[in-house]
Structure 1
Amino acid sequence: MKSLKLLNTRAAKIYILLLAGAAVNTISCNRDLLDKKPLDKLTDDAVFSDATFLQNYVYNVYNGMKPIWYPGTGGFETLTDIAVSQPETHDKAAGIRQYIQGTISPDNITDLTNIWNEEYGYIRKANVFFEKTTTSSFDATVLDPMKGQMHFLRAWMYFELIKTFGGVPIITKSYKLDDTNFDTPRNTYDECVKFILDECDQATTLLKDVAPASGKITKAAAMALKARVLLYAASPLNNPSNDKTKWQAAEVATKAVLDLSFTLHPTHDDLFTRPVKTDEIILGKSFTPGTRVPDWGFNYDYWPSGFDARQRIMPTQTFVNMFQMTNGQYPYLADGVTVNPTSGYDPQHPNVNRDPRYYSDIIFPGAGPFTINDGAKSTVRTYEYWEDANPNPDNAGPYANPNKVDPKNGQTLYDFGRDSKTYWVKGFTPFHWRVQTGYTFRRLCDFNGPRASFDYDYSQAIVFLRLAEFYLNYAEIEIALGNEAVARDYINKVRKRPSVNMPNITSAGTDLVRDYRNERAIELHLEDHRFFDLMRWKAAPGNIDIPIRGLTSVKMDWTGAQAGDLLGKLSYTYGVIDAAEVRAPWKGDYYYLLPIPREEIKKSHNAIKQNPGYQ
């Protein structure tokens, strides 16, 4: 297979070394040492006999950890009930659109299943490492931590493969150019899990004496990955007989993570900013201008279109409704349409008294004010997403709230919304209409920096493993084992973060399961969990195959506005977003796994068998 026989050429080795320092931004190369030997003279012997070069080789393999935004900014979240992609601007639509429309096949999945090629490419690099260091003369104190990192990375990459495709071929040797036999069949899911757990155990042992460092794989990360893998293995998709021993194994491993020295970071607003919050984050990553998400980064892709951007993905009304009121009640009943009469929620004042995370994570009409660094349009303003309820004939002026003045230049600001395309054409307002649902994500936006810059050093940090996930994982395990009181306790630990402080969950039975899954969706959104959670729970029907709902109209009425008022009266209309992508009915259980690319099956001479349900 192409992904298993990447050439180990001099150019590839030079590329590895040039990229190595970018893999973990908190760890830098020794530039003096690198300058001693021209890069074009490096050989295998040089790379694998010099500790600095070898460590940089390892850091390059960190890039095999699939970023949370992949494929395309927003990643798998746009396949779920919490987010929708913008068809006009989502340049990683291939595969995503096909999955949603129910037409995905082994021939048209490109971006989604590049994961197969990419992960096996990095697995090969890990295998080369183990082969080349078998007879290494490095002292164990030098080599063992590198081996530990590599065992973790190989485990991580195999886990990405099995949660996406099910059982895959376990390859532990590097194929060379003159190899002709790539006919390696798939191992079973359980065999892959056993291999991954063994990798994690080896990593834990080899990293036991390594001091924690921000952005670097540690013993704690290896323990956490093992616990996550065991949770997946115990889940309904992979444990159809509900074998309790699998849940018990996950319980033991997860409790071991909880017994480490991590604590919840007290504030939620800065959890995803630099420096990496090592009190809670077990493994995370921050960025430099050269290592962030491709293109202009999170700011350009998540920045609200009302602030003149392209807007990759948006929260759905379904997700917005998951945020409870401060009294702990849901704003809507389970149908997502009927207002919960005991909640205190008013659909015409929807942003009042919500879970504090709502204000950290969601941008809604009137949210802010934000400092907008956007060149000539830089200003301080709220998020504008509304129509003028008092329009003049033929779009004649005035177009603005006369009380709202830009503090930077004294100019009146124009406040119109998503359907005001004619106003935008006239240069009075940005292209809001691309925000199909009326909401945008606030998490991972850096409003201290410009919307789009290749050079600005943005503040965002992403998370691979953090304590809050394992509190929630433990709650799920205890629900499965019938220990609901313990489960509630761990859900409530997350809700009691000082900056959140939501009321305790007190539910039981199916209501507890709903509350748990709701809490997980809110706390872990945009961290690459929701799609795979729905898959492993076998909970896609009613969550993935649903219409996209949002704000179909928001009107701003300036009638009666008093001097100094920055907002008029907003009125909201909710419904299905006709312009959003239409999701096909759920295809059946086979859709819980993605198809293996046909090209890979052909290269194996059909030794690799396709997932059932795909032709």
Structure 2
Amino acid sequence: MKYSITNRLVKRALSLSFISILAAATSCNVLDKKPLDSISDEAVFNDPVFLQNYVYNVYNGIKPPWAPGTGGYDVLTDIAVNQPETHERSAGIRNYLEGNLTADNVNDLVAIVNGLPAATPLWDYEYGFIRKANVFFENIESSTITADKLDPMKGEVHFLRAWMYFELMRTFGGVPIIKNSFQLNSESFDVPRNTFDECAQFVLAESDLAIGFLDGVPVNTGKISKAAALAFKARVLLYLASPLNNPSNDLTKWKAAETATKAVFDLGFTLHPQYAELFKKPLKTDETIFGKSFTPATRIPGWGYNYDFWPSGFDAQQRIVPTQTFVNMFQLTNGEYPYAADGVTVNAASGYDPQKPEKNRDPRFYDTVIYPGAGPLNIIDGSKSTQRLYEYWEDANPNPDNAAPYINPNKVDPKNGQNLFDFGRDSKTYWVKGLTPFHWRVQTGYTFKKTDDFAGPRASFDNDYNQIVVFMRLTEFYLNYAEIQMALGNEAAAREYINKVRKRSSVNMPDIKSTGANLVRDYRNERAIELHLEDSRFFDLMRWKAAPGNVDIAIRGLTKVTMDWSVAKPGDAMGKLTYTYGVIPEAEVRKPWKGDHYYLFPIPNTEIRKSNGVLKQNPGY
């Protein structure tokens, strides 16, 4: 028996997958009809409730933005760095950044854990759900479900099949287009790759079908809608127009992306006033075009974002942290960057003081980055609950041999008036004593804030965390439109749409007025700030062919921060902080960019072998 991508996807009987889907059904009355293990395939495809739950299962084929590992692929870029002792994809990350990615080890990087019992390679993951979509289309041909109920589900599954193929395309390039479910007795499982352009046309055709079937269907928050299908089509067209996929800079591709993006604007979405609220329950449907909310039973795997991004001084995994490069992208409120383009030389025109790095920054900085002294943060760890500053400093004037006391004598718990002998003093002293074992390994001195839920505990399987996932929102399309206008030579229009994002009421940054290369820098910085941890930065750098100088750079951050308590005045929460910046010696060493073939990942050799060589490898691997 030959095995390839397709026969492995059918090794379980169809009815078994129905049982797992029905177990999550939302209607108890439906489940009472007959025992789950006796539900037939025919019953599922002729009952609108059963079938809708089958479709909901196919939604899981949308790769979550935190996958693979934590933070998606942002850790392969200039904005985030991996902390290898806690990140489950560390081996794959290191292979990529050191230029050692191969078809034999690529699955170490791309394997997905999303409610599955074990990590699943991205290729298998997406084709597994593509097969579920194909099963849907094969079985609804004889369904007795009325069109008013069946057609919206058709739209959802066309959208999902398009999304999953696009995920494979932007990762591997052209892939096999498979539109049937394949049975174990099929004559052949050796399916060649389609070209990238053929895949693109298939994805666009699927999007158009989704748009048609979803036309007029009432919007149900969290479900795929016509608006989501229109936005997805516009995103795909932007990728197709980008330098990686449009080497001749065919302007008709940019015009197609422009038309599709304008159609998104016509849908009536607006920017939500508060940036930080976009990533908390409930979904902000004024700006969010497509997103997902969670309950304790359906939450982000493990303990959710909190366990992965919670400040490590408060005991968490802290798998990735922001780089100094990312921190430097946040301008001052006067619209100037704190540093020159080299990231080392202070921009004298900005008025920036490296010893007061948190002063007068873009308001999104405070919603995005937790920096030394940031807070107060409402920390709930087990039985402890208090408001604390985030610390990442060592004592400038410690007591000999770490003898007591270890605290700023002015630091008291506002709730009970007691001195804070935990986390109320320099973190390194307590790390040395073993009292804060996770704290000092924060490589750059900064942590991410965007996804944290400080209203709940760090880790609880019972807490209903307020975190959500945003797959598409209006901001992305304002920025996409700005990029399209730059490509078409309309810089004024590009600035207009970048400035729309900057004028969100909670941000209200000065308009940018740049041109040429400076406009490109402003645009790309704006995009990195707004869309970080939303599965955008890595693929943006790839489609722009902009990896050199962004991926293969040394990781910079805070190499030392000291707190001088001797200058603390009565009532002060802190003394004087002194910052030292530089290259982080503990960070992985990023080797020079490997070459253009690295803009796509290799197809796993397991798939090449199972196809008996019919699948052809990407060049360079």
The alignment's TM-score, normalised by the length of structure 2, stands at: 0.95
Alpha-carbon RMSD across the aligned residues, in angstroms, is 1.3
1:331 corresponds to which residue? 338
**How does 1:135-150 map onto structure 2 within 5 Å?**
135-150=142-157
Cα separation, 2, equivalents of 1:418 and 1:579 = 18
2:115 corresponds to which residue? none
Cα separation, 2, equivalents of 1:294 and 1:103 = 29
Residue 412 of structure 1 and its aligned partner are, at CA, apart by: 2.6
**How does 1:293-442 map onto structure 2 within 5 Å?**
293-409=300-416, 410-413=418-421, 414-417=423-426, 419-420=428-429, 422-425=431-434, 427=435, 429=436, 431-442=438-449
Task: Tell me the secondary structure at the aligned position of residue 354 of structure 1.
Answer: coil
The yes-or-no answer on 1:185 pairing with 2:185 is no
496, 508, 514: which is aligned to 2:503?
Answer: 496
Change (3 A) 1:422 1:536: closer
State whether residues 479 and 498 of structure 2, in contact with CA within 8 Å, keep that contact through their aligned partners in structure 1. yes
1:555 corresponds to which residue? 562
State whether residues 76 and 528 of structure 1, in contact with CA within 8 Å, keep that contact through their aligned partners in structure 2. yes
Tell me which moved more, 389-398 or 452-461.
Answer: 389-398
Change (3 A) 1:139 1:330: same
Cα separation, 1, equivalents of 2:414 and 2:231 = 49
The yes-or-no answer on 1:62 pairing with 2:85 is no
State whether residues 386 and 415 of structure 1, in contact with CA within 8 Å, keep that contact through their aligned partners in structure 2. no
State whether residues 385 and 416 of structure 1, in contact with CA within 8 Å, keep that contact through their aligned partners in structure 2. no
**How does 1:189-588 map onto structure 2 within 5 Å?**
189-409=196-416, 410-413=418-421, 414-417=423-426, 419-420=428-429, 422-425=431-434, 427=435, 429=436, 431-588=438-595
Change (3 A) 1:603 1:180: farther
Cα separation, 2, equivalents of 1:453 and 1:591 = 40
Deviations 1:47-71 (A, max 9, x none): 1111100000000000000000001
Give the number of aligned pairs.
604
Residue 458 of structure 1 and its aligned partner are, at CA, apart by: 0.1
Cα separation, 1, equivalents of 2:320 and 2:426 = 18
39, 60, 65: which is aligned to 1:42?
Answer: 39
Cα separation, 2, equivalents of 1:160 and 1:105 = 20
Gaps of 5+ in 2: 112-120
Change (3 A) 1:390 1:296: same
Residue 5 of structure 1 and its aligned partner are, at CA, apart by: 2.8
Cα separation, 2, equivalents of 1:421 and 1:97 = 31
1:12 corresponds to which residue? 17
Gaps of 5+ in 1: 22-28
Tell me which moved more, 85-94 or 397-406.
Answer: 85-94
The yes-or-no answer on 1:590 pairing with 2:590 is no
Residue 341 of structure 1 and its aligned partner are, at CA, apart by: 0.3
Deviations 1:133-155 (A, max 9, x none): 01222211111000000000000
State whether residues 6 and 121 of structure 1, in contact with CA within 8 Å, keep that contact through their aligned partners in structure 2. no
Cα separation, 2, equivalents of 1:493 and 1:522 = 15
Aligned amino acid, residue 11 of structure 1: L
Deviations 1:15-59 (A, max 9, x none): 12224x5xxxxxxx2211112211111111111111100000000
Cα separation, 1, equivalents of 2:64 and 2:173 = 20
State whether residues 392 and 428 of structure 2, in contact with CA within 8 Å, keep that contact through their aligned partners in structure 1. no
Tell me which moved more, 103-112 or 473-482.
Answer: 103-112
Aligned amino acid, residue 76 of structure 1: Y
Cα separation, 2, equivalents of 1:9 and 1:245 = 44
Residue 224 of structure 1 and its aligned partner are, at CA, apart by: 0.5
Aligned amino acid, residue 74 of structure 1: G
Tell me which moved more, 135-144 or 109-118.
Answer: 109-118
Residue 293 of structure 1 and its aligned partner are, at CA, apart by: 2.0
110, 113, 127: which is aligned to 1:112?
Answer: 110
Cα separation, 2, equivalents of 1:522 and 1:476 = 16
Residue 73 of structure 1 and its aligned partner are, at CA, apart by: 1.6
The yes-or-no answer on 1:85 pairing with 2:82 is yes
State whether residues 3 and 120 of structure 1, in contact with CA within 8 Å, keep that contact through their aligned partners in structure 2. no
Residue 419 of structure 1 and its aligned partner are, at CA, apart by: 4.0
Residue 392 of structure 1 and its aligned partner are, at CA, apart by: 1.7
Deviations 1:80-130 (A, max 9, x none): 100011111112324222111211111112241511110000000000000
1:25 corresponds to which residue? none
Task: Tell me the secondary structure at the aligned position of residue 554 of structure 1.
Answer: strand
Aligned amino acid, residue 411 of structure 1: N
Cα separation, 1, equivalents of 2:298 and 2:50 = 20
Tell me which moved more, 282-291 or 331-340.
Answer: 282-291
Cα separation, 2, equivalents of 1:203 and 1:282 = 15
